[in-house]
Structure 1
Amino acid sequence: MRTRGALDAVVRAPGSKSITNRALPIAALATGESLLHGALSSDDTEAMLDCLGALGCDVAEDSDTWRVPGQAGRLGAPTERLFARNSGTTIRFLTAAASLAGGPVTLDGDARMRERPIADLTDALSALGAPAEARGAGGCPPVYVAGGGLPGGRAEIDGSRSSQVVSAVLLAAPYAERDVELSLRGDTLVSRPYVDLTLEVMRSFGAEAEWTSAGGLHVRAGQHYTGRSFEIEPDASAAAYPFCAAAIAGGRVRVNGIPSDSIQADLALLPILERMGCRVKRGPDFAEVCRGDEPLQGIDVDMNALPDAALALAVVALFATGPTRIRNVANLRLKETDRLAALQAELRKLGANATAQADSLEIDPGPLRGARIETYADHRMAMAFALAGLRVPGVTIVDPGCAAKTWPGYFSILEQL
């Protein structure tokens, strides 16, 4: 990585992965054709496209616009198992959608995916009358779904490890035979803003779901999605890296294309950076982070609602005055790698005293030094630790290509800052 001084840059993040991989299965289930504008082209979305093709929905990718032929609530039964690679949104969202397939569907992934639990989802689907089973060790993939329809009804769902299991059921629920009502086990849901994002995309395609007074979710039966033209905004999770680049190197970085009313979870990083000493400016279609000569301050912060941004913030903490504690992020251990363990190991290489607990990470800055950073085939590890190289000479990122999971052009953009 190349060190540099204060930044003065304007960038545009790629399309939101979270929105793209929600809009795709929704559009596939819709009645009529949908046009998706600004969709993210990356390894995760390619996994979704490949699997949808196997389910009978062949998406035509035409430059910046993708044409999705709606299947009117009925997916095909594939002849072979679906391979979701290491895409959590793909395997979870399509496990639920597969209940609407005309026959049995088996979904699988790579070696790491076979270590990521999915039984919380298959248990909920089975309780709603759609037989599904996680056939791997410890309730992990491969996953078998019987298909044939989603009867609906009431189910308790465990959202303590991943909000995606809740979003997955919601995406399929408008096509259930009866109303679907979900209660949250222990009244616990991690990363709730991502469920709110699911509800927003559902509404955009004509299906309503709502929070209940008891804190659960209700979806009325007999609804359907309607194909439409749909704009996908830039990815706030990706924007976290240029925002944090400004915090680390100083100067100014503006990310264009992010609406002022966006509800993407990782925009909550902006007030956190303000607490650390940055200045934030929002406009109708941009967000900007600035830092002058003032030092960064360590903070104590709950990042349960935006755990993906915790990696970039952990690297920012290397340059702060005083320790930083990132807490309530136990689900980082269930991502592309055990991110808490990986963060501890790689932050220590750079000179910090970093300690990971069951659901938290403490970073006490120390004299910084260059290091060879392992990425564990995790795109967010690669993108986050590359930021350290803006200030610290001798930082080398192993396997930077893994960033293609969500931002194929990331290192080119970073070099241009």
Structure 2
Amino acid sequence: MVFVKTSTLRGTICVPPSKSHSVRAVILASIAFGKSCIKNVLMSKDMELLIKCCCQFGAQIEKTKEGLEIIGANAFDLKHSVFDVGNSGLAFRLLTALLFHEKAIIMGDLSLKKRPIKPLLRALEQLHKNTIEIDGSDSQYVSALIFAILKLKTPKTISIKNRKEKPFVQMTLSWLKFLQIPYEDTDKKITIYPKGSIEAFDYTVPTDFSSASYPIAAALLTGSIQIEHLDFSDSQGDKQLIDCFQKMGGDIEIKGQSVVAKKSELEGIEIDCDPFIDALPQLAVLGCFAKGKTRLYNAKSARFKECDRIACVAKELKKLGANIEEKEDGFIVYESAMQSGVCHSYLDHRLALSFIVLGLRVGDIEIKDIDCMKKTYPQFIERLEKCGACFEKKLDFVGI
């Protein structure tokens, strides 16, 4: 747990590489023909498990000072039939798709066992067809199906019903473009022209816009922060959060690959959260300090993440004085007189990170079970401290 004190932030903060790109890069390199070099990989417990899983089906992976060298398994050679992906929902879906026709058991921790996968399995059962129908309410289903198609030799069309979280599918499609695999994308259909194999590649994982959004949000509430090395040409959908913060009145200046955010008077607005679904908890926190009403909607899939993020965030913020209404697909949040107290992360890294942002503004906030932050931002506390953040009673948190 950690005890967060009221703080004024000043300085430049380093943000980790993208988790989403890291997972995609490692898996794709592990099924590619030849040796790939992946630099700036986000290392975490889940990544260590993913590396082990890829080695289990035949990839050879060596850690270097800059990242990973991976010799892909051109054909699967399962050395063990049980694959443990830990807490990674993305790895769970992608490996399920790749190993669908193998004799394999893919498992994870308790929270992962509660996350739906039937829509993906129904789609994978149609791989023999030219057109495959899939429920697109969770982008990971679509991304996983795309991965399954890459090893085939005939074109496949994916017919998507209820297409949501489009930027995450676009991230997967950006990998097809990078690997020179032709595809066509319309709103409801994606047609892929696979080559039957993937050539090895070199890749540097970019800075994570999702992780960058937390120090930016903290600066809007408490001080001034600069973040560097943000590639706005990258496919990450969470870069749209910066525009969202600006629409709320956030004082944010963009200069090339640098962003400077300063304490601001925020205004409540209506926000469609589908393009950046993982930001729902921190947007709820910001809504507590925005004048008027903030409506967060189109985020129903947030109920099926590491926890039910809609129910859990509403419960925890209400304990601290938030005037927040839980809706089926999000929240209505009113400017609130927040107070000190205890928050539970529910072992969800997005909640832990968001509640730290809250604590920096309110002060005297105790957050339980913060170890889960290692999944995306292992050094968040240490890097905030260098910018003036005050924490006490830090226990069981060691950055990787």
Gapped regions of structure 1 (runs ≥ 5): 130-151
Q: What is the deviation of 1:296?
A: 1.2
Equivalent residue in structure 2 for 1:166, among 128, 131, 142: 142
Superposed displacement of residue 112, structure 1: 1.4
Inter-partner Cα distance in structure 1 for 2:13 and 2:202: 25
Partner of 2:295: 325
Helix, strand or coil at the partner of 2:63: strand
Residue from 329, 339, 343 that aligns with 1:369: 339
> What does 1:5-404 align with in structure 2 at a 5 Å threshold?
5=8, 7-72=9-74, 74-99=75-100, 103-129=102-128, 153-160=130-137, 162-185=138-161, 188-212=162-186, 215-250=188-223, 252-292=224-264, 295-404=265-374
**What are the Cα deviations for residues 272-329 of structure 1, in whole angstroms up to 9, with x where unaligned?**
111111122223322232235xx21111111111011121111111211122111000
Change (3 A) 1:209 1:12: farther
Give the superposition deviation at 1:82.
0.8
1: CA distance, partners of 2:194 / 2:350: 38
Are the aligned partners of 2:295 and 2:331 in contact in 1 as well (CA < 8 Å)? yes
**From 4, 7, 19, the counterpart of 1:4:** 7
Q: CA deviation at 1:196?
A: 0.7
C-alpha offsets along residues 239-261 of structure 1, whole Å, 9 cap, x if unaligned?
110110111113x2222111131
Return the alpha-carbon distance in structure 2 between the equivalents of residues 349 and 78 of structure 1. 49
Q: Deviations over 1:148-196 (max 9, x none)?
A: xxxx621100011x101101111231221321110012xx211100111
CA distance in 1, matches of 2:84, 2:43: 18
Cα distance between partner residues in 1 of 2:47 and 2:158? 27
2:321 partner SS: coil
Q: 2: distance between equivalents of 1:94 and 1:364?
A: 41
Letter in 2 for 1:311: P
Tell me how far 1:75 sits from its aligned partner.
2.0
- Residues 66-117 of structure 1 deviation map (CA, whole Å, 9 limit, x = unaligned): 1111222x222243311111210111011111147xx411111121111111
Which residue of structure 1 aligns with residue 395 of structure 2?
Answer: none
> Distance in 1 between the 2:60 and 2:340 partners?
46
Say whether the 8 Å CA contact 1:43–1:406 is kept in structure 2: no
Equivalent-residue separation in structure 2 for 1:267 and 1:14 (angstroms): 15
Q: What is the identity, as a one-letter code, of the residue corresponding to 1:65?
A: G
**CA contact under 8 A between 2:181 and 2:195: conserved in structure 1?**
no
The CA deviation at 1:223 is: 4.5
Superposed displacement of residue 393, structure 1 = 2.0
Letter in 2 for 1:2: K
One-letter amino acid of the counterpart of residue 374, structure 1: H
CA-to-aligned-CA distance 1:359-390 (integer Å, 9 cap, x gap)? 12111232211111100000110000001111
Relative to the length of structure 1, the TM-score reads 0.88
* Higher RCO structure (Cα 8 Å, ≥6 apart): 2
Identical-residue share of aligned pairs (%)? 29
Structure 1 residues 115 and 248: alpha-carbon distance in aligned structure 2, compared to 1, 3 A threshold: same
Distance 1:75-1:194 versus aligned 2 partners, 3 A rule: same
Gaps of at least 5 residues in structure 2 are: 388-400
TM-superposed CA distance for 1:207, in Å, is 2.1
Q: In structure 2, how many angstroms separate the alpha carbons of the residues matched to 1:366 and 1:200?
A: 41
Tell me how far apart the structure 2 counterparts of residues 52 and 329 of structure 1 sit (CA, whole Å). 32
The structure-2 alpha-carbon separation of the partners of 1:78 and 1:222, relative to structure 1 and needing over 3 Å to count, comes to same
Q: For 1:20-56, what per-residue CA distance to the aligned partner results, in whole angstroms no more than 9, with x for missing partners?
A: 1111111111111110111101133223212112112
Superposed CA offset, 1:322-379 (max 9, x none): 2211100000000000000011011112211112111121112322111111000001
Computed over aligned residues only, the root mean square deviation of the Cα atoms, in angstroms, reads 1.6
Segment drifting more, 216-225 vs 366-375: 216-225
Name which of structure 1's ranges 171-180 and 351-360 shifts more when overlaid on structure 2.
Answer: 171-180
Aligned residues of 2:182 and 2:194 also touching (Cα < 8 A): no
Which secondary structure does the structure 2 equivalent of 1:207 belong to? coil
Q: CA deviation at 1:208?
A: 2.7
TM superposition score normalised by structure 2: 0.92
1:125 deviates by 0.7
Q: For 1:222 and 1:232, locate their aligned partners in 2 and report how far apart those are by CA, in whole Å.
A: 24
